[in-house]
Structure 1
């Protein structure tokens, strides 16, 4: 039995892992992936998941490396709340995600910057919701 085939949703919340391990391109059908509170410090080696739309990475220790998500061009929802993101520049790779509509950075240091919301919406013009609130 080839397990990953046809799995559309995967929840690995609280499975402890500092890096992406055991998650591969075999999960190519995935549309939703949740990795809340797994202790991730890096997204290095994140697999290409072309159908992935919803990625939940809350409460990890990610500081940077969002370019590692480029194999997931159809992301519409990305939650990075409770991570170690401090700079708007860190979000730069997200410009390549034309489908991204919902971004959550709640409880990240970056949210304390002056004009944080304006800067993020400027950087990501396709974004509709930031931290649960729309542009207006």
Structure 2
């Protein structure tokens, strides 16, 4: 019997033989710790090589063989405001040592600005071609500001996923080469709030708050081929599909359904239904 450094007595003789044999079998087979088993199918699935880095910014990975395209939805939002910034917002009630707080805030701001500048030089967002920045949990304007800064640097991105980010206005962003954009489940209420996308071909706006169809004409000059507007208020408007195709003559697919002959012009039955017949 021996005593470990933590003060707990351990002994291999005190363990049952079945337990010791089971442990030896595990040592012989070298079962990886990252292997997970699905309770439904019983199939053993190994996570991606980047699974252990899922909470780390991709540009901070050092001495690893993980590529950037193996990171799904990497976190890009910065930490929340400092205590001093919250104090200036009026979210704290402590009023003591205000001058000392201000001096320390200026000193730390100079240090943080230098560190952030070095980190942003390593990000290299300008060369991203395919990017998934979904589920960022942008709960504070401080984080949304940094997120918008990154979007403005995506000058070469062609496929971009921005699912469930609570985005309400991207009009200040320009994506000159973007061909596929997924904005599913956000807070957009107007086509005018979309980024500038002169090369857009496939656009998903499902589960937003878009209510008007007339603004679709703003996308008329783009080579848009497929559009998804499911679960928006505009989907329940009269002559929904004909009106969308009239605004976008180049459109081929709407909500996953190809353009049908009856989508070319408003149906005459719909016009007759507006008349009131008195018997």
TM range (shorter): 0.7 to 0.9
Verify: 1:44 aligned to 2:161, yes or no: no
TM-score (structure 2 length as normaliser): 0.45
Q: Secondary structure at the match of 1:49?
A: coil
Unaligned runs of 5+ in 1: none
Normalization by structure 1: what TM-score? 0.88
RMSD of equivalent CA atoms: 1.8
In the TM superposition, residue 25 of structure 1 has moved relative to its aligned partner by: 4.2
More helix by proportion, 1 or 2?
2
Work out the CA distance in 1 between the residues paired with 2:256 and 2:204.
10
- The structure whose Rg is larger is 2
- Tell me, yes or no, if the aligned pair for 1:42 and 1:65 is still in contact at 8 Å: no
Does the CA-based 8 Å contact 1:95-1:123 persist in structure 2?
yes
Give 1 or 2: higher strand fraction.
1
Q: Which has the higher contact order (CA 8 A, sep 6+)?
A: 1
On the 8 A contact 2:190/2:211 being kept in 1, the answer is no
1:82 — aligned with what? 207
Residues 55-90 of structure 1, C-alpha deviation per residue, up to 9 Å, x if partnerless?
1001001001436533x2000001000000011123
How many equivalent pairs are there?
A: 133
Q: List gaps (5 residues or longer) in structure 2.
A: 1-121, 261-279
Question: Which piece of structure 1 moves more, 102-111 or 20-29?
Answer: 20-29
